[in-house]
Amino acid sequence: MTELLQNLIDGLGRGSIYALLALGVAVIFGVMHLLNFAHGELITVSGYVAFWTISEGWSWYLVTPAIIATAVATSLVIERVAFSRVRGSSDFTLLLTSFGVHFVVFAVFLLYVSASVKTFPRPGWVTNTYSVGSLNLEVFDTVVIGVTLVTLLATSWLIQRTMFGLALRAAAADFDTARLMGVRSDTVIRGAFALSGLLAGIAGVFWLMRAGNTVPSAGITPMLKGVLAALIGGLGSLRGAVLGGFVLGLAEVLLRSRLPDTVASLTEGFVFLLIALLFIFRPQGLIRVAHAERV
Amino acid sequence: MRLKVLFALLAVFTLVVAACGNDDDSDGGTASAPTEAPAPTMTEAPAPMMTEVDIDAALAADLSECTAAPTGDPIQVGMAMDFSDVVGFVDIPGSKLVPFIAEKVNCTGGINGSPVEVRVAEVGQDAVLAAQELLDWGAHFLIGPPFADFALPILQTTGGQVPLFVAASTEPTLADASVNSFLVSFDDYGMSRAAAQWAYDQGITRAIVFTEGEGIPYTGVNPDAFIAEFEELGGEVVSVQTYIWAADTDFSAQVNEIAGISENNEVVFSAALGFQVTALRGQLEGQGLDGLTYIGTDALDATGIQAEVNNEGIAHTPHTSISSGDRIDTMLADYEAANGEALESRGFMALYVDSMFLGIQGILDCGCTNPADIGAAVAQIEGFQGLSGEITFAGTNGIPPKAVPINRIVNGVDTLVATIGG
């Protein structure tokens, strides 16, 4: 029982990061119908900023805002340089553009920085633990869960209670009608990319604190987790994305912990098998979104 | 309108660049770097015929004071290299160093009057194309990338008729002397058996092993070999945990299990990367398990365990244990001085240079230039004193029975603490 509880908390910690990533993916999908496979590049770029700034002696207190600012800036630059050029194109064009961005960013770091792993020290408290009864909990998991909850509440407030949020929701429901109603497309799309970058930046801080390294392909895994969680939750649904993140995190930890040793190395395979089963019975994901189009 | 002007300017610029470019298109679209013999600066009496490569003489060459440029038929070394982020960390610096050393060889008059030419072809997504380009060029032997996904297509392209040195590989299945494919290093079995021996020699009788799965190349084969050797020595493997190589940095689920069975005196073995081992260690120590000993494979050297925080006491099996001022250190310093950049993955670099010299030694031994005959001669090499240690292929299937250095971080310094086997 104790181990199960620990697994649940570990899974929630992991799922919190996935939820933030998935929410960023869902925000962009909502306004552009773009499944953004370049989302992970925000963490790749942030990772190198973390490496360079920490190498210069910056503490994590300074590196944290630097990572978040980098993710937001990178997201806006990608929108300006790549996606604004193909705005209004077919979903397939947008999808290919996002792949293009991914490969360009990857190649730039590979060719002009290094193919080697660049490591940097993690904050000392990342592996600290504390006890609650018989439970031995990681401080990191607690912080991640707490920060994620605050971020999700703030995001919810932004979307539900502000003019920007109203415009975002209107654009997600029907972009053309929203424009006719006076919503400025540039503002709402750039705002969505900024919000997506902000969420990726917060997720990136935790991801990089845990990883302690970066490579040109560092963004692939977080991108996959984010996209997968968004799909599980129901593409286009912000609440679904968050739910999908937690479900994915819990599934990974519980399967790895509960599967017999002989098949434990197939954990990832089982996760994908469960996702496939989910899509057989609920092709729309956990939460159905009427207006979303599948890519 | 501005966009049209921009496109027009871009088109003009492209045409100008194309017009000013070299007409020689032999380089194609690949990263080729033929090494030319340096211009003569002085004339000397003919040297006696060389029967063995003189690595020290080549390394000592001063590129600003070369002897007469060799004018014989060139020895052509083809490097099919993987520049992706999977292997680029060794193949990129390796493909820079080998042409530099070839230049030094040429500076000393070449090999019996023949210059050494090196051509690098990046495998990209098509190793067959890169290998074919090098064969068409006339490579006498090839130096290939370490993993099977590219090395095997290269081997299929050569049809076993051209010697292939998989320089930085420890993958035993890539070695097959009957098709002229050779490792230059010890293999996974040698490496992980040595790790098990070292751990047992420290008086440790309990082990925790991390694997990706039984039989999986490198990430599973190394743990398999460690487990077999450790148990044969009399040790007990108390836990086998799975993880995702090169990706996992959160080992919470595994640590929870280990915390329930550990006596805080085990050795923890894996083929994981440096940042993974330190992440795992941090989480285990967070659970109070601070009495464990950690040992890993050459992956720790490849990913810079020396630069990691919380690396004190971690042991690993590098290909070469470099100390300040030794031959490898001097060679790398020479490269840096001449080219203004330090090479990464220092511990692997000797393997690339040895690959080139082994191929040349094959040519000297057979007195031939036919690649298949060179391969047959390489297969008979015995006691070759390479930069990375003594290399013997005679009587093997292409895996040299090399000694395995065990390095450990002691007081923050990567220190040679044992040498096992050989």
Tokens of B327: 């031959």
Whole-angstrom distance, CA of residue A138 vs CA of residue A128? 6
Contact between residue B294 and residue B198 where contact means Cβ atoms under 8 Å apart: no
State the average pLDDT over residues B192-198.
98
Higher pLDDT, A197 or A285: A197
- Residue-level length of chain B: 422
Determine how many CB atoms are found less than 10 A away from the CB of residue B211: 26
Chain B residue with CA closest to A2: the answer is B256
State the average pLDDT over residues B284-308.
94
Distance from CA of A153 to the nearest CA of B (A): 26
Give residue for tokens 């990567």.
B414
- pLDDT, residue A290, reads 61
Determine phi and psi for B67, rounding to 5 degrees. Answer: -80, -175
Distance from CA of B121 to the nearest CA of A (A): 15
Interface test with A, best of B90, B250, B292 (most A CBs within 10 A): B250
Residue % of chain A over a pLDDT of 70: 98
Which residues, at least 6 apart from B23, have a Cβ–Cβ distance to it below 8 Å? none
Most confident of A105-114, A279-288, B272-281: B272-281
Task: Name the amino acid, one letter, at A279.
Answer: F
- pLDDT, residue B47, reads 60
How does residue A175 score in pLDDT terms, banded at 50, 70 and 90?
Answer: confident
Tokens of B115: 């210059």
Contact between residue A11 and residue A152 where contact means Cβ atoms under 8 Å apart: no
Whole-angstrom distance, CA of residue B160 vs CA of residue B178? 8
B85 with A119: Cβ contact below 8 A? no
Angle at B329 between CA B167 and CA A55, to 5 degrees: 95
Considering the four listed CATH numbers 2.60.40, 1.25.10, 1.20.1300, 1.10.3470, the one that applies to the domain covering A2-125+135-281 is 1.10.3470
Give the distance from CA B400 to its chain's centroid. Answer: 14
Tokens of B247: 């990706």
Predicted TM-score (pTM) of this structure: 0.83
Whole-angstrom distance, CA of residue A31 vs CA of residue A92? 15
- A102 to chain B, any CB pair closer than 8 A? The answer is no
The interface predicted TM-score (ipTM) is 0.79
Whole-angstrom distance, CA of residue A47 vs CA of residue A147? 20
Mean pLDDT of chain B: 89
Tokens of B403: 């000694």
DSSP B109-161: TTBTTBPEEEEEEE-TT-HHHHHHHHHHHT-SEEEE-SSHHHHHHHHHHHTT-
B89 with A114: Cβ contact below 8 A? yes
Chain A residue with CA closest to B219: the answer is A265
Contact between residue B391 and residue B376 where contact means Cβ atoms under 8 Å apart: no
Closest CA to A188 of A167, A172, A174, A173: A167
- pLDDT, residue A203, reads 97
What does the pLDDT look like over B72-105, one tens digit per residue?
999 999 999 999 877 889 999 999 999 999 999 9
- pLDDT, residue A251, reads 93
Which residues, at least 6 apart from A58, have a Cβ–Cβ distance to it below 8 Å? A66
Helix (H) or strand (E) holding B315: strand B315-316
Which residues, at least 6 apart from B41, have a Cβ–Cβ distance to it below 8 Å? B65, B66, B67
Give residue for tokens 């599967």.
A259
Distance from CA of B84 to the nearest CA of A (A): 7
Contact between residue A106 and residue A48 where contact means Cβ atoms under 8 Å apart: no
**DSSP class of residue B176?**
B
A121 with B309: Cβ contact below 8 A? yes
Closest CA to B296 of B313, B316, B281, B311: B316
Whole-angstrom distance, CA of residue A92 vs CA of residue A69? 30
Residue B29 has pLDDT above 50, yes or no: no
B85 with A129: Cβ contact below 8 A? no
Secondary-structure percent of chain B, ordered helix, strand, coil, rounded to 5: 40, 15, 40
Domains along chain B with CATH numbers: 55-186+326-391 (3.40.50.2300), 188-318+406-420 (3.40.50.2300)
Domain range summary for chain A, segments of one domain joined by +: 2-125+135-281
CB-nearest to B256 from A6, A114, A211 is: A6
Tokens of B110: 């070449």
Contact between residue B126 and residue B144 where contact means Cβ atoms under 8 Å apart: no
